[in-house]
C-alpha cells in the first residue's frame, strides 16, 4: 500500500513575488569551461540548495533528460542502508520509462510539484509531501509544471544510482551537436545496463521474455564488442567535477519575473 505523508508547511517568510535570488549552474563542461547545454536554475535559499551545500558529493547531470542530482548518503556496497538522492527535474524532462523495484522507493518533494504515477494513477505531491512506492509496483514520475521540481529520493540500493550515473556519464562523454543537444547510450549499451540492473529494477515497456531475448542477442553482441554495463567509474567525484559545472554560491543574482 502506498503511503503519503504531509509535513508541516515551510515557515520561511514570503518573498517578493517579482524578484527571486537565482543561481545558474550545472552546465556541461568541456576542458573545464561551461558549454551550451542544459542549465540548472537554483533558488540558493531553498531547501534543495541547502541539501546540495551539505552534500559531500558533486552535482551530476543527465544532459539528455535535463535532470540533475546529488548523493546525500552513499552506503558501502556491503551495507543494507539506502542511498539518498536529491534530484532536480526540469519542465522539459521526459518521464522515465515505467518500471518497478524489488524493494520500496520513497519520494519527498522539496520544491515545486512532482507527479508520481503508480499503477497508472497520477499522484501530485507538493513541498513537504512524500510517497512510498511498494515493491514491484509499477511507477514513474514527471514534472507537469513550468518550473524545475526538486525532490529527495530514497532508492533501492547504490546499484540503482550506479545505473543512472552510468547512462548520464556516457551522455557527457558522447558530447553534443552544434545545437547543444546530447545523445545518451546507444541501444546495445542501454540493453547491457538494463540487464545489469534487471534483478533490482525492471522496465515494463516490453514483455520480460522480449527483453531477455534482446539481452541474449543484441546485448550479448554488444558485450562481445567491448560495450560495458554499469561502471563504478561514474560514481567517482572527479568524473563529475570534470564534466558538470559546480555551484558557485557567490554568483547568485536577483532575477525579476
| pLDDT at position 80 over 90 | no
Strand order in the sheet with 114-118: 121-125, 114-118, 139-142, 99-101, 201-203
Write out pLDDT tens, residues 222-232.
Answer: 566 666 778 99
Average pLDDT, the chain: 86
What does DSSP say about strands 253-256 and 60-62: parallel, antiparallel, or unpaired?
A: unpaired
Query: Taking the model in full, what pTM does it have?
Result: 0.84
Write out pLDDT tens, residues 113-159.
Answer: 999 999 999 999 999 999 999 999 999 999 999 999 999 999 998 88
pLDDT of the residue at 257: 60
Write out pLDDT tens, residues 187-204.
Answer: 777 878 888 888 788 888
- Determine the Cα–Cα distance for residues 101 and 118; give it in Å rounded to an integer: 12
Average pLDDT over every residue of 52-81: 88
Instruction: Give bridge partners of residue 3 from the DSSP assignment.
Output: 132
pLDDT of the residue at 75: 72
% of the chain residues with pLDDT over 70:
82
Average pLDDT over every residue of 60-73: 96
Residue 133 has which C-alpha cell? 512506492
Ordered domains of the chain (ranges, CATH):
20-252 (2.60.120.10)
| pLDDT at position 51 over 60 | yes
| pLDDT at position 50 over 90 | yes
Nearest 5°: phi and psi at 250? -75, -10
Write out pLDDT tens, residues 83-121.
Answer: 999 999 999 999 999 999 999 999 999 999 999 999 999
Burial, 164: exposed, middle or buried (Cβ in 10 Å; 0-12, 13-18, 19+)? buried
- Per-residue pLDDT band for 9 (boundaries 50, 70, 90) equals very low
Amino acid at each position: 500500500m502506498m503511503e503519503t505523508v504531509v509535513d508541516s508547511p515551510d515557515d520561511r517568510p514570503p518573498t517578493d513575488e517579482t524578484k527571486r535570488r537565482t543561481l545558474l549552474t550545472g552546465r556541461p563542461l568541456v576542458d573545464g569551461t561551461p558549454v551550451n547545454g542544459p542549465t540548472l536554475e537554483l533558488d540558493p535559499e531553498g531547501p534543495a540548495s541547502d541539501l546540495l551545500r551539505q552534500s559531500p558529493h558533486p552535482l551530476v547531470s543527465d544532459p539528455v533528460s535535463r535532470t540533475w542530482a546529488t548523493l546525500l548518503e552513499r552506503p558501502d556496497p556491503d551495507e543494507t542502508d539506502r542511498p539518498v538522492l536529491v534530484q532536480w527535474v526540469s519542465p522539459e524532462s521526459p518521464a522515465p520509462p515505467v518500471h518497478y523495484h524489488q524493494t520500496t522507493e520513497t519520494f519527498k518533494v522539496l520544491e515545486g510539484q512532482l507527479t508520481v504515477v503508480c499503477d497508472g494513477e497520477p499522484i501530485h505531491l507538493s513541498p513537504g509531501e512524500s510517497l512510498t512506492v511498494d515493491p514491484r509496483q509499477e511507477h514513474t514520475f514527471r514534472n507537469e509544471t513550468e518550473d524545475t521540481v526538486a525532490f529527495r529520493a530514497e532508492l533501492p540500493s547504490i546499484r540503482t544510482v550506479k545505473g543512472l550515473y552510468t547512462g548520464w556519464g556516457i551522455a557527457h562523454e558522447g558530447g553534443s551537436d552544434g545545437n547543444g543537444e546530447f545523445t545518451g547510450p546507444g541501444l546495445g549499451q542501454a540493453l547491457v545496463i538494463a540487464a545489469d540492473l534487471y534483478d533490482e529494477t525492471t522496465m515494463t515497456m516490453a514483455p520480460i521474455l522480449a527483453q531477455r531475448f534482446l539481452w541474449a542477442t543484441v546485448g550479448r553482441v554488444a558485450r562481445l564488442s567491448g560495450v560495458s554495463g554499469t561502471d563504478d567509474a561514474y560514481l567517482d567525484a572527479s568524473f563529475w567535477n570534470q564534466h558538470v559545472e559546480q555551484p558557485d554560491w557567490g554568483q547568485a543574482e536577483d532575477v525579476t519575473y
